[in-house]
Amino acid sequence: MKIIHIERLVSIGPFPRSREWKRIRSGMHDAIRAVDWPPGTGKFTIYPQSGKRRGEGNGVKPIKNECLARLREQGWEAESAFDVLGTANPGDLDAVFQAKAGAVAMEWKTGNISSSHRAR
């Protein structure tokens, strides 16, 4: 899978320029790029199927789960929450890594408008 866009929501202080961030970011990118579809093919192909029957379509969840499994191998927590700059908790995020400088979060978005509407 390729990375089209990265949206940084909070990027303050020296951490964004640190070696630790570069290592974490590299691990995130590796986990995303390693996702293949269909599983085991070594490439990423979306099929124009309706997905109305089990086993058809492309399935956001299995694609996301492969990435999350790779992140967990690097010490990330899946479906985890944390306080954002002392404000209200945004709810569970797809993946959170506890760095020395604080939490790093990753939220998986597919470009599917309905998934964006469900996000908190």
Q: What distance in Å separates the CA atoms of residue 29 and residue 55, rounded to the nearest whole number? A: 28
Whether 89 is in a domain gets the answer yes
Q: What is the pLDDT of residue 56?
A: 58
Whether 86 is in a domain gets the answer yes
36 vs 58: which has the higher pLDDT: 36
**Edge to edge, what strands does the sheet with 93-99 contain?**
77-80, 93-99, 102-106
Whether 6 is in a domain gets the answer no
Question: Over pLDDT 70: what percentage of the chain?
Answer: 74
Whether 117 shows a pLDDT value over 80: the answer reads no
Whether 2 is in a domain gets the answer no
Whether 7 is in a domain gets the answer no
Instruction: Say how many domains are in the chain.
Output: 1
> Tens of pLDDT along 64-116?
889 999 999 999 999 887 766 666 666 788 999 999 988 888 888 766 545 44
Whether 4 is in a domain gets the answer no
Record the pTM: 0.74
Q: What is the pLDDT of residue 88?
A: 63
> CATH number for the domain including 51?
3.40.91.20
Whether 98 is in a domain gets the answer yes
Whether 65 is in a domain gets the answer yes
CA angle in degrees (0–180, nearest 5) for 42-96-111: 55
Token pair belonging to 106:
């990753």
Q: Which range marks the domain in which residue 82 is found?
A: 15-118
